[in-house]
Structure 1
Amino acid sequence: MTATVALILALAVGTYAFRLVGPVLHGRVELPDRLQELMAAGAVVLLVALLATGALTEGGAFAGCARPGGVLVAGVLAWRRAPFAVVVLGAAVTTAVLRMTGVG
């Protein structure tokens, strides 16, 4: 067996074990309320950080104003509970129009 195959198998077993821990320990481990609140806040912070880097940067530099404009429109449409297709199309059209007008 080559090292690559062994590494793939080890990662597969590790991934399966990691996913199995949740259902196995559910109900057996009780986390304090404060830790649960911090974990929920951490998830929100992580998602916002991913959104910010995806919306504002491209190749390590500022992506221009068109992409954040599209993300802003998508956020407003999602907040107003528009259908997913409308949110995606609204963001794409906004970004395209801003780029076409030279906003960047």
Structure 2
Amino acid sequence: MNVWIAIGATFVSCYLVKLAGLLVPAGVLERPLVRRMAALLPVALLAALTAQQTFAEGQALVLDAKAAGLAAAALALLLRAPFLVVIATAVVVTAGLRALMG
């Protein structure tokens, strides 16, 4: 029963957040600070998620094949590789190291 309460609370809170977004006056959204924050927030959230998924294992910090894949992707980005090449590089390096470490 507690699971259904949590699902209901999540549903209601998501609906209220979406409704609050619709009620914000247009003038507030046109401010330079709000525009800058709206542009940078997704990048910051994605970077935080990437770091958490790469370097965390439960409560511990780890340095494994995922970190090497991320480093290879960063290097490919520095070399101005196309996006699909960056992703493929990360996948190949991560899978190769996992196969070697076995």
Cα RMSD for the two superposed structures: 3.5
Q: Does 1:23 align with 2:22?
A: yes
C-alpha deviation, 1:101, in angstroms? 3.7
Which residue does 1:12 correspond to in 2? 11
> How many residues end up aligned between the 2 structures?
100
Structure 1 segments (4+ residues) deviating >6 Å: none
Q: Which has the higher contact order (CA 8 A, sep 6+)?
A: 1
Q: Distance in 2 between matches of 1:95 and 1:5?
A: 39
What's the offset of the Cα at 1:19?
Answer: 1.0
How has the CA–CA distance of structure 1 residues 76 and 23 changed in structure 2, closer, same or farther, with 3 Å as cutoff? farther
Tell me which structure has the larger Cα radius of gyration. Answer: 1
State the AA in 1 paired with 2:59.
G
Letter in 2 for 1:96: A
What is the distance in 2 between the residues matched to 1:101 and 1:80?
26
Separation in 2 of the partners of 1:75 and 1:31?
34
**Could you say if the C-alpha distance between residues 5 and 28 of structure 1 is closer, same or farther in structure 2, counting changes exceeding 3 Å?**
farther
Corresponding position of 1:82: 83
Offset at residue 44 of structure 1 (A)? 4.3
2:63 match: 64
Match of 1:92 in 2: 91
- Superposition deviation, residue 41 in structure 1: 5.4
Once the 2 structures are TM-superposed, how far is the Cα of residue 68 of structure 1 from its aligned partner?
0.9
Whole-Å Cα distance in 2 between the matches of residues 31 and 60 of structure 1? 41
1:42-101 CA-to-partner distances (Å, cap 9, x unmatched) read 654443333222212223334334211101222344552332xx4433212101222344
**Unpaired runs of at least 5, structure 1:** none
Alpha-carbon distance in structure 1 between the residues aligned to 2:40 and 2:89: 29
Q: Which TM-score applies when normalising by structure 2?
A: 0.59
